[in-house]
Amino acid sequence: MNEIHPPVWPSGQPPRRLAFIAAPNPGAHRTLESLTARYGQHTPQEADAVICLGGDGFMLEILHMMLGQTTPVYGINCGSVGFLMNPAIPDDLPMHLTQTQAATLHPLRMTAQKSSGEIIEALALNDVFLFRETRQAAKIQIEVDDRVRMPELICDGVLVSTPAGSTAYNLSAHGPIVPLSANLLPLTPISAFRPRRWRGALLPSAARVRLTILEPEKRPVAAVADFTEVRDVVSVEIAEDRAIQTTLLFDPGQSLSERILAEQFTV
């Protein structure tokens, strides 16, 4: 996951075909009406850029929708949390887009096997995490690149985060914030009981992680990849999928790399 250069539109001119997508809240819909009246409306498939109106949760939905497509996404904050969003509506939106900075995001691919034997795959732009389903703590074995690194972690759960997602659940679980250019994936325990002092690890972005559930009948565990939850898993494999990407646009001086860096100095 790496920062890229400011986008260059194929025509060499400001993008004119814009697709506006609004979250289901009154503020976002008022902004939608105002912007479509001024700039028109196109489908995401025919647009030069997709404009997301909402908060971080809605932006994550739109980024999933745009995975594998070359059309960039620009967010305008009309929600409560706006780490992935830009704060204000520009006076001349098409011209403003030519000045934005872009980040290319690659998702994590989760391959989860259920106790029934069923295999479920899902993509995550934030994180993949496991958590206990009952009062019993989970017991999880951790392998990295086919080598057992931790035979048994007793915990509420464990997560693998992308750099972009390192400021979300990973940070709340006391995991490290990772710059985009670092090409690292935080592996962070959630309320570790044994080994109690283990704080997790930083893995190369090319690492393949396998999490095996120990005593799955007694200590059932669920796995989540962004919006996809899988109950009663017995093993989960996680790896970055660099064949798939999406592009996110930020205002000048407010790139995703800058925001991640600034977050580390927030008190």
Contact indicator for 156, 190 with CB cutoff of 8 Å: yes
Q: Torsion over CA of 111, 117, 118 and 121, rounded to 10 degrees? A: 0
168 known member of a binding site: yes
Annotated binding residue at 164? yes
In Å, how far are 68, 181, 183, 221 from 72, measured between CA atoms? Answer: 11, 19, 21, 36
Per the listing, tokens 């997508």 go with: 21
For the chain, the first-to-last Cα distance in angstroms comes to: 26
146 is in an annotated binding site: no
Structure tokens at 94: 């098409």
Token pair, residue 107, equals 């998702």
Annotated catalytic residue within 48, 56, 91, 146: 56
Write the single-letter amino acid at 142: I
Tell me whether residue 126 is annotated as binding: yes
Calpha distance 117→113 (Å, rounded):
6
Ligand-binding site membership of 183 (annotated): no
Diameter over CA atoms, the chain:
61
- Any binding-site annotation on 167? yes
171 appears as a binding residue in the annotation: yes
Token duo for residue 259: 């925001």
147-155 sheet: strands from edge to edge: 119-124, 108-114, 233-240, 208-214, 138-144, 147-155
The pair of structure tokens assigned to 12 is 């060499």
DSSP H helix total and E strand total for the chain:
5, 18
Q: How far is CA 40 from CA 29, 131, 261, in A?
A: 15, 45, 36
56: annotated active-site residue:
yes
Residue 31 annotated in ligand binding: no
Residue 56 labelled as part of a binding site: yes
Active site positions, annotated: 56
For the annotated binding site for NAD(+), the residues are 56-57, 126-127, 156, 164, 167-172
For the annotated binding site, the residues are 56-57, 126-127, 156, 164, 167-172
